[in-house]
Structure 1
Amino acid sequence: MDNRAEILNAALDLFHARGYDAVGVQEIVDRAGVTKPTLYYYFGSKLGLLKSLLESGYKILEDGVLEAAGTNAGLPEVLYRVARVFFDFAATHEKFYLFMLALFYSGRENEAFQTVSPFIERYYRIIVGIFEKAAPQLGNMRGRQRLFAVGFTGILNHHIMTVSYGLSEDEEFEISNETTYEIVRQFLYGIYS
């Protein structure tokens, strides 16, 4: 593994464990086995490191969500596919996903929140687009596409956090296909009623 990747991995481990604000550059370089000038060479600053970390991880999630959202299927199937993307991403990138959510729930003036917010907003806009596209099928939107997007992503995030909570080191994150269908079905029941 090259120095850049070592730094990213060390930063993610430390940020996930203790939070962005609680971790210093010296700690990151010590964990990565490099020097501060090496970190600054690749990322410019701790904030630059955070941006690179978020961009690399988020790109994978966004590509999957875009592909699922572009599916030519009815709303239930599209939502199922989007949910599977979120759950599968959280299973394979659990530390990253939980860290990204933690940043989003931090103080609004915090530089970490301001850095992660545009990434969260990007996938939120994709989800809004799904509901806008489905408006003719649903008939009861009345401008509530944004509310539905918030509700849907909130349910997904809640399930991810709930399943992740309390997992031991040897347990794997998993949300089954059956559970995913049930989550989507219950969500749709709420918006159809």
Structure 2
Amino acid sequence: MIYGASALRERVEVLELAAVEGGWAWESVRRTWAGAELTDRTNLFSKVGIGARDVRLVLRRQNLTLHNALRWKGQHLFLTSIVENIPGWLDVQAALVEPAACRGNVHRGENGPTFPGVLVEKYLRHEQDHPMATTTVCYVLVTPKAVEIEPKGLVEAGGTRYVVQVAHTLDGWKNEYEILRKGDK
């Protein structure tokens, strides 16, 4: 990618996670110019699930961390790497993802906080038991670091309820939760 003012042809929004009534939401804090391109690589933004489409961006140096996200052409970019390779310029790697509306700790009729999350496929298993079959769907729910979900509880993601199986919370920038749903087919 070329570094220079003429390469900054795309408008992107810098997003920040903000506390809102009832939970968390991504809010736009500013707009900036960037050079952006989809690459032919997969961005492995989740250590547990599969990856997403990779986007490489070049921006002028600014206050930007992996706690932020970007919106580019109406699409959500989950930041995975920010490096100042050349003084004054940021080389940013991001995963092109579709955020899902989520609600944490949903059980016994209680509604926990709302938050944005990204569902990543892990596996799908189908078992044929006569006379019925069971389908098990396991996803990884990637959330901003500020979002904490109780393991073994229920979480709602994209309108569907899942059981939280395992919490991966050691990453300094995000949390990952293995979530599971079983159903009869």
What is the TM-score of this pair, normalised by structure 2? 0.29
Relative contact order higher in (CA < 8 Å, ≥ 6 apart) = 1
Which is strand-richer, 1 or 2?
Answer: 2
What is the TM-score of this pair, normalised by structure 1? 0.28
